[in-house]
Amino acid sequence: MPSIPVVSAKDSPAKVIGCLERDGAVVVSDVSDRATRDAVLRELAPHLEVVDPDASINKVYEADGGAANFYPGKTKRITALVARSETFRTFVTHPLMLSACDAILKPNCVHYQVHATAALKIGPGAREQVLHREEDPYQFFKVPRPRMILASMWAITDFTEANGGTHIVPGSHLWPADRVARPDEVVAAAMPAGSVLLWMGGT
């Protein structure tokens, strides 16, 4: 059974990067403390408060060339977190993120930048999301694509398989384009609050 490696924030960036290269994903525990998570929650709360969890953005996404039914319902979503939460900015500039981005993205570019940010509050009964690669919008490159994206998911609350922990297919960043994941190759990222899941744009 494949699994997502778990390392500690005290481990070296080289260890984190080694896991990303080999498994395409890694969970790093104890990256954010309680006070930081509480501040993010407090700063985002008024924005999340006014979101309708049933407002579907699929039509807009499809019109833009995105996959059909990409976004599950029963979920509150807000974007532009850098503008909305001062504390969230410390995640973007966290030394772990910068060293991982330097190692994974810098060999392919002059500068890298924040691609998109979103906070998700998954409600009861939300369906699973369709498996995808974060780099899928760049269809002009064939899989396996050059490395363009390093994704992260910061656990502000505990992630479990039951409450919607992100589904990852370890090792799939190295797969040929036509290989489809079997159900037993899909792993839910279970991680306690304070952890961050990193994954390659090709995973």
Ligand X SMILES: O=C(O)CCC(=O)C(=O)O
Binding residues vs ligand X (CB under 6 A): 71-72, 75, 77, 118, 120, 129, 166
CB nearer to ligand X: pick between 105 and 135:
135
Q: Which residues contact 164 (CB under 8 A, 6 or more apart)?
A: 122, 126
Counting Cα atoms < 13 Å in the Cβ hemisphere of 81 gives 25
Cβ 155 to ligand X shortest distance, Å: 13
Cβ 151 to ligand X shortest distance, Å: 7
CB nearer to ligand X: pick between 19 and 149:
149
Distance, first Cα to last Cα, the chain: 17
Cβ 110 to ligand X shortest distance, Å: 26
Tokens of 13: 């960036």
CB nearer to ligand X: pick between 166 and 172:
166
Q: Which residues contact 130 (CB under 8 A, 6 or more apart)?
A: 67, 69, 70
CB nearer to ligand X: pick between 166 and 195:
166
